[in-house]
Amino acid sequence: LNEGALPVKLTLDGQESIDSVLGADSLRRSLIAGIVGLIAVMVFMIIYYRFLGVIASLALITYTAFMISIIKLSAFSPWQITLTLSGIAGIILSIGMAVDANILIFERTKEEIKRGRNISSAIEEGFRRAWTSIRDGNLSTIITSLILIFFGTGFIKGFAITLIIGVLVSLFTAIVIVRTTLRFIGTQWLEDRMWLVMRIKKNNEDKK
């Protein structure tokens, strides 16, 4: 390198440090993506499932509040949760699990309404029929996450831990909060406004 070098003195023209700013920017972008995704899911649920979608959206907001609270409160415990990119991925994936549970419940409920049940009994039967599928799906996810925790390292463990917490919280919001809310509202008020739950097809006599 010294061969043919010019006899000039080197002077420092500028200095630049690369630190955690890039990671912070990626984290910010991931949070924005998560918020946009959450809003998109809520809009879809409201458009497709109408009033039931509104209840599911409220449950998702509750889920988000619970997850933020758990992450914040973990700072005061020996098991502090650090929000990394892999952790955000686990949280977003658990949002999908929560929506999946709501979809199963709502579809079973609509099937029972079509069979002639009133709204209250249809909700109870919908939860009963959907529970086994929800339980098995979430249980398999938890088992897989435990395997990742015991045999994985670094980011993989962070992803698995937040996924387990997210699945448990989403299971609580989908089963307990949504069910309790629908039990409270699923009275004569909702029975008289069935169009808020599903599209009512008019028969030929009604058209005449």
pLDDT (tens digit, 9 = 90+) per residue, 112-161? 888 888 888 888 888 888 888 888 888 998 998 899 888 877 778 878 88
Query: Sorting pLDDT into bands at 50, 70 and 90, what band is 2?
Result: low
Q: How far apart are CA 135 and CA 7, in angstroms?
A: 76
pTM: 0.71
Whether the predicted pLDDT of 107 surpasses 70: yes
pLDDT (tens digit, 9 = 90+) per residue, 57-102? 888 888 888 888 887 887 777 667 766 777 777 777 777 777 888 8
